[in-house]
């Protein structure tokens, strides 16, 4: 099999502001592996850059098997390094596998696409009135609200005033222990579903401390969770974990992480970075295994060159094409 790659610039519909910073575009990487497609998301706060991803891909070398069904053998030969680049190779390899067998990934995994949970829609940090307007205009049943700034309570209050949707908040590691302990009870008054990554990455004891305070609001870990080993380390400290292919290094490790979480009594939110339909559709094939979904990447992008998963409101509609089921816009393959 032949590996190649190219830049995948993505322009955002609106400025995407979270506790880590703000951006109007993302410079991702599109990977080709024979007929397979994959995507690597360059996320600065995870140490990923477009140049670094491409350098990793250039260094991979000849690790390929003649039989694309030997996924575990191929992936075991990948060198350490960029999780996003490894995810792109993993996705492309799964795409080849499904295409050559003539089946969508969800069918090869034995999953029912109708069991995929509804996805949330992300509302980036802005002035509270602007965030409320985004929610009012979108008219969707689930919102994930980015917090971690000076107006967190005001923002959630403004959104709740215009929407009866299910609300989740994501602090992106932007609070201290004391801030989280003070803010979570205030935010809970607005009928929240959960709080995502309230504390800095690695502060597992802080998460245990928060949980022991009986705040009566589920806490999910995101940035702290990359592999199944990280999931196991958070057992008893959180109620759930957020799994993203760009953190796990692809579909295979995401599956291990999902099953580990469930074995340890935690729920799973399947999520994405800012990605095109390539990366998000690949993840969506695992959605029937998860309790929650946050797979709105294509809805945030102005110039997505691909089509795959589609949205019926908040319902994820998986494509029935072989592999990940993605094709170039205007040219159904």
Q: Which residues contact 179 (CB under 8 A, 6 or more apart)?
A: none
Please say if 72 is a catalytic residue: no
| Residue 95 falls in the annotated catalytic set | no
Q: Which of 146, 203, 226, 253 is catalytic?
A: 146
Whether 11 is catalytic? no
Q: How far is CA 116 from its chain centroid?
A: 15
List the structure tokens of 120: 């949330």
Looking at 95, 244, 294, 296, which residue is catalytic?
244
List the beta bridge partners of residue 36.
33
Q: Which of 95, 152, 203, 222 is catalytic?
A: 222
Specify whether 320 is catalytic: no
C-beta neighbour count of 46 within 10 angstroms: 19
244 catalytically annotated = yes
CA distances from 289 to 73, 111, 264 (A): 24, 8, 15
Rounded to whole angstroms, the Cα distance separating 235 from 221 reads 11
Rg for the chain (alpha carbons), in Å?
19
Nearest 10 degrees: Cα torsion 67, 71, 77, 82: 130
> Of the residues 196, 203, 223, 275, which is catalytic?
196
Catalytic residue among 48, 95, 152, 170: 170
Tokens of 85: 């680049």
**234 CB neighbour count, 10 Å cutoff:** 22
**Alpha-carbon torsion, ordered 227, 44, 168, 281, to 10 deg:** -70
Question: CB within 8 A of 51, min separation 6: which ones?
Answer: none
Catalytic residue numbers read 146, 170, 196, 222, 244
């Amino acid at each position: 099999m032949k590996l190649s790659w190219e830049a995948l610039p993505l322009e955002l519909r609106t400025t995407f502001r979270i506790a880590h910073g703000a951006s109007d575009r993302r410079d991702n990487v599109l990977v080709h592996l024979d007929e397979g497609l994959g995507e690597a998301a360059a996320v600065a706060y995870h140490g990923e850059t477009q140049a670094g991803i491409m350098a990793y891909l250039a260094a991979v070398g000849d690790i390929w098997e003649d039989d694309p069904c030997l996924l575990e053998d191929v992936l075991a030969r990948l060198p350490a390094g960029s999780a996003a680049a490894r995810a792109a190779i993993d996705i492309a390899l799964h795409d080849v596998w499904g295409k050559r067998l003539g089946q969508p990934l969800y069918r090869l995994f034995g999953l029912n696409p109708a069991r995929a949970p509804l996805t949330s829609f992300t509302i980036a940090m802005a002035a509270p009135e602007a965030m409320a307007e985004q929610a009012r205009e979108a008219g969707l049943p689930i919102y994930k609200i980015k917090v971690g700034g000076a107006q967190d309570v005001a923002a959630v209050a403004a959104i709740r005033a215009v929407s009866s949707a299910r609300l989740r908040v994501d602090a992106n590691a932007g609070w201290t222990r004391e801030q989280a302990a003070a803010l979570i009870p205030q935010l809970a008054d607005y009928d929240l579903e959960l709080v995502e990554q309230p504390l800095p990455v690695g502060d597992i004891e802080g998460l245990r401390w928060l949980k022991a305070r009986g705040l009566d609001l589920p806490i999910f870990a995101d940035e702290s969770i990359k592999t199944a080993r990280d999931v196991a380390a958070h057992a008893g400290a959180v109620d759930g974990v957020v799994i993203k292919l760009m953190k796990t290094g692809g579909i295979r490790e995401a599956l291990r992480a999902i099953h580990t979480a469930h074995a340890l009594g935690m729920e799973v939110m399947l999520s994405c970075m800012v990605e095109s339909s390539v990366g998000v559709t690949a993840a969506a094939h695992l959605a029937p295994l998860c309790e929650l979904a946050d797979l709105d990447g294509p809805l945030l992008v102005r110039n997505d060159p691909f089509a795959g998963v589609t949205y019926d409101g908040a319902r994820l509609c998986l494509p029935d094409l072989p592999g990940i089921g993605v094709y170039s816009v205007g040219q159904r393959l």
